[in-house]
Chains A and B, each alone.
Chain A
Amino acid sequence: DTAVSQTPKYLVTQMGNDKSIKCEQNLGHDTMYWYKQDSKKFLKIMFSYNNKELIINETVPNRFSPKSPDKAHLNLHINSLELGDSAVYFCASSQAGQGAGRNEQYFGPGTRLTVT
Chain B
Amino acid sequence: RKEVEQDPGPFNVPEGATVAFNCTYSNSASQSFFWYRQDCRKEPKLLMSVYSSGNEDGRFTAQLNRASQYISLLIRDSKLSDSATYLCVVMPNAGNNRKLIWGLGTSLAVNP
Complex Cα distance A109/B97, Å?
24
B interface, CB within 8 angstroms of A: 32, 34, 42-46, 49, 85, 87, 91, 94, 96-100, 102, 104-105
CB of B46 within 8 A of CB of A105, answer yes
**A41-B105, A42-B104, A43-B87 as given contacts; A104 in contact with B46, CB under 8 Å:** yes
CB of A100 within 8 A of CB of B49, answer yes
Complex Cα distance A107/B34, Å?
14
Q: Mark A94-116, 1 if CB is under 8 A from B, else 0.
A: 10101011111111111000000
**A43-B87, A98-B94 as given contacts; A105 in contact with B45, CB under 8 Å:** no
Q: In angstroms, how far is the closest chain A Cβ from the Cβ of B55?
A: 10
CB of A107 within 8 A of CB of B44, answer yes
**A104-B49, A109-B42, A109-B43 as given contacts; A43 in contact with B96, CB under 8 Å:** no
CB of A106 within 8 A of CB of B46, answer yes
CB of B98 within 8 A of CB of A103, answer yes
Interface residues on A, range: 20 to 34
CB of A90 within 8 A of CB of B98, answer no
Q: In angstroms, how far is the closest chain B Cβ from the Cβ of A48?
A: 7
Majority secondary structure, A binding face: loop
Chain B residues with CB under 8 Å of A100's CB are: 49
Q: Does A55 contact B (CB under 8 A)?
A: yes
Closest to B94 in A: A98
**A104-B46, A104-B49, A109-B43 as given contacts; A41 in contact with B97, CB under 8 Å:** no
Contact partner, A103, options B32, B43, B104, Cβ 8 Å: B32
Q: Does A50 contact B (CB under 8 A)?
A: yes
Q: In angstroms, how far is the closest chain A Cβ from the Cβ of B88?
A: 12
* Complex A-B, nearest 9 residue pairs according to Cβ-Cβ distance, in ascending order: A107-B43, A43-B102, A103-B32, A110-B43, A104-B46, A107-B44, A56-B99, A109-B43, A103-B98
